[in-house]
Amino acid sequence: MAKLTPESTFRAELWRDIRPSVLALPGDVALFFLWLAALTLVFVGLRGLSALGYRSERVELLETLHYYAYLPVFAMFLVDLIWKVLAGLLWRKKAGAP
């Protein structure tokens, strides 16, 4: 009976395959939370303006701008995700992996 080495185990092979993707995730997650924190601070600031009695028309305008700020953030992360997946697939094919 052949002795299994750590290099030949399923877990080791799986980790070798997914390691580049796993190492790229913390940077993307940190960037996402940075943008989310910025949008949350703006939201809290707008609530503060309303509580302090700032003119409602101006607060509504700022809220509209804040609402539409979510769209480019979402689009940016979606395009980045699609780009990374496609680049990973193309790079893998060029490297000769199945």
pTM score above 0.85: no
Residue whose token pair is 């993707």: 21
What 5-9 contacts at long range (C-beta under 8 Å, 24+ apart), as own/partner pairs, is: none
Q: What is the pLDDT of residues 61-73, one digit of tens each?
A: 988 988 887 788 7
Q: What is the pLDDT of residues 8-44, one digit of tens each?
A: 688 888 888 888 877 877 887 888 899 889 888 988 9
Distance from C-alpha of 25 to C-alpha of 40, rounded to nearest angstrom: 22
Phi and psi at residue 63, in whole multiples of 5°? -65, -40
